[in-house]
Structure 1
Amino acid sequence: MKSSPEHPWSVDEVAERFDLPTNVLRHWESVGLLRPERDAAGRRRYGEDEIVRIAIIQRSKLAGMTLEQIAVLLDDSARGRHEVLQRHLDDIDKRMLEMQRSREMTEHALRCRAHDIMACPRFRAGVSDVITGLEPSRSPIETPA
């Protein structure tokens, strides 16, 4: 994009740059996540700081954060900030564990010599925690049956 900090970006330019509909940027502004400057005609003008905020919002959303959590992340004086961020980290750790277990299960299914994966005892053991509702332990799916 040709714009520079001296010539801030329009809402359309920012939307195109981040592959977002303009109404998403307007919504983020309405909930206080963005505060673009306005030009003499009242049009939104996004400077470098707003561009960085948009990138943070996008990365945070991809990581599963809600807009409310993102607002706390971006507000260094927010009450309970550390608690909100710690809960999000705990959630990320839990999802990473589940993704790792899913990866192990898929890799096992790929290598398993059993055509019927349901007949494979190691495969079944890999989902036993889901069936029983117990906390997951280390996956028994590690070597093909």
Structure 2
Amino acid sequence: MKSSPESASLRSIGDTAARFGLDTHVLRHWEDKGLLSPARDGADRRLYGDDDVVRIAVILRAKAAGMTLDQVAVLLDDDHGPKRHAVLQEHIADLDRRMREMELSRAMAVHAFECEAHDMTRCPGFRSTIQDVLAGAPWPVAPS
């Protein structure tokens, strides 16, 4: 989706990258991947409008949540309705799994912090926080 040069406020690539704490090459890479299509001025310089800024925010939030750029591309593509739902369904399941792992990890860290045992790994309370791993539960593998 191309930004219109008539957008309320157009920003240079440097200003746009700085707004998000990014290097300019990141925005160029995302453009190469088809995630961004900034307008161009007469000298072919990129001009980022409000819609581009929203897309950048979506990309950043999605990446922070563990989505790949390929998944983000589907998320932002108007022509992938059914595929978008499948990608999002998979992503939500992954988020749920990671949140469960984070809750277990937090419980382990809290117990370790509060544990008065000299060797916390011998503490029965601490061991209970890792019982699922000790029992041989399948270890989650991060998606590639």
TM over 0.5: yes
Counterpart check, 1:121 vs 2:124: yes
- The percent of aligned pairs where both chains have the same amino acid is 54
CA distance in 1, matches of 2:58, 2:122: 46
Instruction: Give the superposed CA RMSD.
Output: 1.8
Distance 1:97 1:48, change over 3 A: same
CA distance in 1, matches of 2:25, 2:138: 41
Q: Runs of 5+ in structure 1 lacking a partner?
A: 137-145
CA distance in 1, matches of 2:14, 2:66: 26
Structure 1 counterpart of 2:13: 11
Q: Which has the higher contact order (CA 8 A, sep 6+)?
A: 2
Counterpart check, 1:42 vs 2:7: no
- Does the 8 Å contact 2:9/2:50 carry over to 1? no
Structure 2 counterpart of 1:64: 66
Structure 2 counterpart of 1:91: 94
Q: CA deviation at 1:133?
A: 2.9
Q: CA deviation at 1:6?
A: 3.6
Give TM-score scaled by structure 1 length.
0.85
Give TM-score scaled by structure 2 length.
0.85
Distance 1:111 1:7, change over 3 A: closer
Q: Runs of 5+ in structure 2 lacking a partner?
A: 1-6, 140-144
Structure 2 counterpart of 1:139: none
Count of residue pairs the alignment pairs up = 133
Counterpart check, 1:107 vs 2:110: yes
Runs of 4+ more than 4 Å apart: none
